[in-house]
Amino acid sequence: MDKSCINVGILGWGTVGTGVSKILVNQNSLISKNSYVQLSLKKIVKRTLPATRVGIELPTDCLTDDPSDVVDNPEIDIVVELIGGVSGAYSLISRAIQNGKHVVTANKALLAEHGSELFQLAQKHKVSLNFEASTAGGIPIIKTLQESFTANQIQSIYGIVNGTCNYMLTEMHERGVDFADILSDAQEKGYAEADPTLDVEGIDAAQKLTLLIALAYGVNIPVNQFHVEGITDISQKEIQYARELGYVIKLLAIAKLTDDNRVEARVHPTLLPERSLLANVGGAYNAVCVVGSAVGPTLFYGQGAGEMPTASAVVADIIDAAKSIQRGVSSPISHAWLENSQTANSICPIDDIETRYYLRFVVIDRPGVLASIGSILGNCNISISSVIQKEPHCTETVSLMMLTHKAKEKDMKSALEQIYTLEVVKGDAKLIRIEEEAAF
């Protein structure tokens, strides 16, 4: 199909939508020169009108408050969905695809929940559904997994993919502030939402991990089928004790291919050696480490959110979709979304994982406590690599920290159940998993 000018319509004119419109209007000639496609921004849907944005002069009659002016408009070739949410976005994207329009979205929640349906619909109507900005902002990790690593078996993925949590943990580490205080600070600076649940409970990172897993392993694993743990229980004590032990705490999204060809998926706070590359990804930045069978370890680093970094990824998808229109083809779609490829043994449950652990117990300061805990751990096939006991400060209890050698999660759970029955142990232990293999 020879189409000299590709018309674009945007659903949603918030932070990212504004950035996309700026690039499409202000960098139009650069895009044409570098990509050999001519893009024209025809319509922008904004919930309330009128509106203006600094740094952009829109074409006449560009703004509208009616989504039909984009998804049902025969002049629009590419629909860019940036409204967020699930149900409304799903309905509009479905209509756009059925109308033969190529779609670009940054909506990880939507794809995590309805990706299979939407990609099958896109294949049926022979259009592209592009989603680079859905996972790590301006970092081109989706295209890399789709194209650059096709000759590799992906052995593992370690991702810092939530800028809010990374900002908060960085500040807790560097400034010594508590979780509640840094959350208020992050909200004031716009790094965290008024309701931060999706970020701090690890759900946002988990939704992104589902997309990475589908591309890397061809398996569609819903968020509710793997372990997801946020940072709300990370205290300043854990930050300080981790530092004393030579570690930094990060919220990691982890995927691995096991020896028996299952996919291990989990999101949780993780101890990383302080000199490792991932441990030094600070602030609101994102990073994704991918280990391939041929290429070995690789690291992708950049801004995971924000107006222009995310808009850059969205526009890259728009250009890809425009090239597909010119060639009369659609972009390839991972078979994880096109087939019922998930089987009962595709997922490695959390109980079967094997890793090292950081444990902190609050115990009564009396002889024999360490021996009692150590005996239970040993009977559950867990070996201790190091122990630190803090001196008591005007109380009868002390903090007892342990690092273990590699052990199975189910053995750790069994050991903790028995340890909690000891009279000398007060409250639940703090448990954080350690990932030495991510330390490159």
User: What 3-state DSSP class applies to 124?
Assistant: helix
**Which listed CATH number (3.40.50.2000, 3.30.920.30, 3.30.360.10, 3.40.630.30) goes with 143-302?**
3.30.360.10
Q: Which CATH superfamily is domain 5-137+307-327 in?
A: NAD(P)-binding Rossmann-like Domain (3.40.50.720)
Q: What is the pLDDT of residue 344?
A: 38
**CA-to-CA distance for 218 and 211, rounded, in angstroms?**
10
**CA-to-CA distance for 268 and 230, rounded, in angstroms?**
6
Pairing relation of β-strands 430-434 and 354-364? antiparallel
**CA-to-CA distance for 156 and 72, rounded, in angstroms?**
42
Q: What is the pLDDT of residue 304?
A: 86
Instruction: Identify whether the C-beta of residue 312 lies closer than 8 Å to the C-beta of residue 135.
Output: no
Q: What is the pLDDT of residue 343?
A: 41
Residues 6+ apart with CB under 8 A from 191: 163, 164, 167, 168, 284
Q: What is the pLDDT of residue 339?
A: 61
Neighbours of 295 (CB within 10 A): 13
pLDDT tens for the chain, 440 residues: list them.
457 899 999 999 998 999 999 999 999 999 999 999 999 999 999 988 666 777 888 888 899 999 999 999 999 999 999 999 999 999 999 999 999 999 999 999 999 999 989 999 999 999 999 999 999 989 999 999 999 999 999 999 999 999 999 999 999 999 999 999 999 998 988 888 899 999 999 999 999 999 999 999 988 899 999 999 999 999 999 999 999 999 999 999 999 999 988 999 999 999 999 999 999 999 999 999 999 999 999 999 999 888 999 999 999 999 999 999 998 877 767 666 766 544 435 889 999 999 999 999 999 988 999 999 999 999 999 999 999 887 776 678 899 999 999 999 999 999 999 999 999 999 899 999 999 877 56
350-433 domain in CATH 3.20.20.150? no
Is there a catalytic annotation at residue 390?
no
Instruction: Identify whether the C-beta of residue 212 lies closer than 8 Å to the C-beta of residue 253.
Output: yes
Q: List the chain domain ranges.
A: 5-137+307-327, 143-302, 350-433
Q: What is the pLDDT of residue 338?
A: 67
Out of 22, 42, 208, 250, pick the active-site residue: 208
Q: What is the pLDDT of residue 164?
A: 94
**CA-to-CA distance for 146 and 218, rounded, in angstroms?**
11
pLDDT digits (tens, 9 = 90+) for 285-335: 999 999 999 999 999 999 988 899 999 999 999 999 999 999 887 776 766
What are the tokens at 208?
């992104």
Pairing relation of β-strands 38-45 and 5-11? parallel
| Chain centre distance of CA 308 | 19
Cα 368 to Cα 361, 365, 398: the distances in Å are 14, 9, 14
User: What 3-state DSSP class applies to 181?
Assistant: helix
Rounded to 5 degrees, what angle do the CA atoms 135, 315, 299 make? 40
Alpha helices (runs of H) in 56-103, residue ranges in sequence order: 68-71, 87-98
